[in-house]
């Protein structure tokens, strides 16, 4: 079974631009979560999508948005980029099936975003 894939792996943008990151979950998984990882803040939860609906959202400004398609693929968009948005963005998928208490998340390799 193929793992979680993220594209692109690396991105360099300038301040004020916008960026779209893509995540393809493991086949059959319906839940996709996004995280921002930085050296200072660690791993911070952005949002989670399940069956094309956002189920939960972390404490990030509205410049960070996402969506999920009917095939469970997800995209994350960051508008008006700031220097502080430079980070590794990780996507994780899980089955999302109820009522499991052990719904393990499987992570992709991440997209390294650098904002200049």
Partner 1 sequence: GDSVTQMEGPVTLSEEAFLTINCTYTATGYPSLFWYVQYPGEGLQLLLKATKADDKGSNKGFEATYRKETTSFHLEKGSVQVSDSAVYFCALSVKLNSGGYQKVTFGIGTKLQVIP
Binding of residue 56 to partner 1 (CB under 8 A): yes
Q: Please give the DSSP secondary-structure letter assigned to residue 115.
A: E
Instruction: Report the distance separating Cα 111 and Cα 22, nearest Å.
Output: 9
Give residue for tokens 């999920």. 68
Which residue in 28, 103, 114, 116 binds partner 1 (CB under 8 A)?
A: 103
If DSSP states are collapsed to H, E and C, what string results for 57-68?
Answer: ECCCCCCEEEEE
CB of 95: closest distance to partner 1 in angstroms? 9
CB of 3: closest distance to partner 1 in angstroms? 9
Footprint on this chain of partner 1 (rule: CB under 8 A):
4, 6, 33, 35, 42-43, 45, 48, 50, 55-56, 90, 92, 94, 96-110
């Amino acid at each position: 079974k193929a793992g979680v894939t993220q594209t692109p792996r690396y991105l360099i943008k300038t301040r004020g631009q916008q960026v779209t990151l893509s995540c393809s979950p493991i086949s059959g998984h319906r839940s996709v979560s996004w995280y921002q990882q930085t050296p200072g803040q660690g791993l911070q939860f952005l949002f989670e999508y399940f069956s094309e609906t956002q189920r939960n959202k972390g404490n990030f400004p509205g410049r960070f948005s996402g969506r999920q398609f009917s095939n469970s693929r997800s995209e994350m968009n960051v508008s008006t980029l700031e220097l502080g948005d430079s980070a590794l963005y990780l996507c994780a998928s899980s089955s999302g099936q109820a009522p499991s208490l052990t719904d393990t998340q499987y992570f992709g390799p991440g997209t390294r975003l650098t904002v200049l």
